[in-house]
Structure 1
Amino acid sequence: MYAVVELQGHQYIVSQGLDLVVDKLDFEVGKNFDVRVLALFSEDGKQTTLGAPFVDGASVGFEVKAHQRGEKIRVLKFKRKNRYERNFGHRSYQTVLTVTTVNGK
Structure 2
Amino acid sequence: MRSKVKPILIIMIIILAVFLAGKYVLNSLVGDMCGNDILQKVTSSNGEKVAYNFRRDCGATTSPSPQLSILNKGENLPNKSGNTFRSDKEFSIRWLI
**Structure (1 or 2) with the larger CA radius of gyration:** 2
Give the TM-score normalised by the residue count of structure 1.
0.28
The higher relative CO (CA closer than 8 Å, separation ≥ 6) is in 1
Higher helix fraction (1 or 2): 2
Higher strand fraction (1 or 2): 1
